[in-house]
Amino acid sequence: MNALQQLSDSELVEQLLANNEKAILYFFYEKYYSVFEYHVYKIFTYEVSVQGLVHELFLYLYEDNWRHLRSYNPAMSKLNTWISVVSFRFFMNYKKSKIDSYGLISIHEKWDDNIIQYKQENQELVKMDIQKAIDSLKNDTERDVARQLLLDGAEIQDVAAEHDLSIDYAYTVKSRAIAHLRKILKAYRS
Per-residue pLDDT of 46-105, as tens digits, reads 778 889 899 999 998 998 889 888 888 888 888 988 999 899 988 888 887 765 444 444
pLDDT at 99: 56
Spatial contact of 151 and 131, defined as CB atoms under 8 Å apart = yes
pLDDT at 111: 42
Dihedrals phi, psi of 3, to nearest 5 degrees: -60, -30
pTM for the whole thing?
A: 0.52
**What is the rounded average pLDDT of the residues 105-128?**
54
- In this predicted structure, which of 43-52, 98-107, 153-162 has the lowest mean pLDDT? 98-107
14 to each of 19, 73, 149, 154, 168, how far by Cα in Å? Answer: 9, 12, 48, 50, 45
Domain covering 3-98, topology: Rna Polymerase Sigma Factor; Chain: A (1.10.1740)
The residues spanned by each domain of the chain are: 3-98, 113-189
- Answer yes or no: is pLDDT of 116 > 80: no
Choose between 176 and 27: higher pLDDT.
27
Question: Any residues with CB less than 8 A from the CB of 48 and at least 6 apart, and which?
Answer: 40
**What is the rounded average pLDDT of the residues 161-172?**
90
Q: Which helix (H) or strand (E) holds 122?
A: none
Query: Taking all residues of the chain, what is their mean pLDDT, rounded to a whole number?
Result: 81
**What is the rounded average pLDDT of the residues 115-140?**
72
Q: How far apart are CA 121 and CA 35, in angstroms?
A: 41
pLDDT at 136: 87
Asked if CATH classification 1.10.10 holds for the domain at 113-189, the reply, yes or no, is yes
